[in-house]
Structure 1
């Protein structure tokens, strides 16, 4: 893998040329995020600093596209890499062989990955500000699972880790 500073320069250069999809494709290859269920990227409206929306779209069990803002790479690269990793988790979850049907479980798993980088350890850490935001979102999705359900029980140890992390960030 290239050095992080070299990657930033490469990203900035291609972003300035309007090559957002090319940059995103490079990053999923460079950071080994790709998955056979990934169909490709499409652009969506520009993001604002307080609202960056990326989505994974496609039917469960079918190929998935990731829609990213056309100005994705105007924002900090470590955050964008974490958001791309989040969406690639969803691509995997929606593959027939690894299907996760419950949306709350999918979001829980993706936010947990953003916080602890178990599947993608090469992704850089988030800022404490974003860790706090992502931990809060993870807990929101955990709490949307049926109270006392098998699903909540499945993730109770991870929930404790998220709560411990969050307590260190406050």
Structure 2
């Protein structure tokens, strides 16, 4: 993928205020689209240096991903990983998957940001963001309930996340 050309296109969308079209362009370019995806809408921006996207819709229904208007002010690799996170939620809430437990959905989505098992075409995050999202993943793992069936289901992945975080710490 030619990131210079990609950034050029995104800057054009940004300059013309076509942020939703730019987001659609990215999910098309990176093959993130899903039949359960309704489209993009805007959400309020949190702060200039904070980014939040959400997949909205009832489980089993079509999902709309809400993005901030300042989405393209952020690092492209971060944006792509955040989009992949939400597009995984779109799949998880589809009639095909119907993952009911929010902790399981979040665990899977943060794990995806670290290891790209569903979307291998998404670029790797910096160690800073891997550490940040790895810690978030472990919070959701903990919320599954100590020794629960869900924790047992994801124990091997948890060990992978812990190893990744330890490797990052050892580099520092």
TM-score normalised to the size of structure 1?
0.96
1:47 is displaced (CA, Å) by: 4.1
CA distance in 1, matches of 2:25, 2:71: 14
Give the 3-state SS of the residue equivalent to 1:87 in structure 2: helix
CA distance in 2, matches of 1:114, 1:11: 21
Q: Is the 8 A contact 1:33 1:88 kept in 2?
A: yes
The equivalent of 1:129 in structure 2 is 128
The equivalent of 2:87 in structure 1 is 88
1:5 is displaced (CA, Å) by: 1.6
Of 10-19 and 53-62, deviating more is: 10-19
The equivalent of 1:61 in structure 2 is 60
CA distance in 1, matches of 2:30, 2:23: 10
User: Does residue 106 of structure 1 match 2:102?
Assistant: no
CA distance in 2, matches of 1:30, 1:148: 40
Residues 136 and 49 of structure 1: CA distance in aligned 2, closer, same or farther (over 3 Å): farther
The equivalent of 2:3 in structure 1 is 4
CA distance in 2, matches of 1:29, 1:99: 24
User: Does residue 79 of structure 1 match 2:91?
Assistant: no
Q: Is the 8 A contact 1:49 1:75 kept in 2?
A: no
Q: Is the 8 A contact 1:47 1:72 kept in 2?
A: no
TM-score normalised to the size of structure 2?
0.95
1:12 is displaced (CA, Å) by: 1.2
1:160 is displaced (CA, Å) by: 0.3
Q: Which 5+ residue runs of structure 1 have no aligned equivalent?
A: none
Provide the aligned C-alpha RMSD in A: 1.0
The equivalent of 2:42 in structure 1 is 43
Q: Is the 8 A contact 1:37 1:92 kept in 2?
A: yes
CA distance in 1, matches of 2:60, 2:13: 33
CA distance in 2, matches of 1:165, 1:84: 22
Q: Is the 8 A contact 1:57 1:64 kept in 2?
A: yes
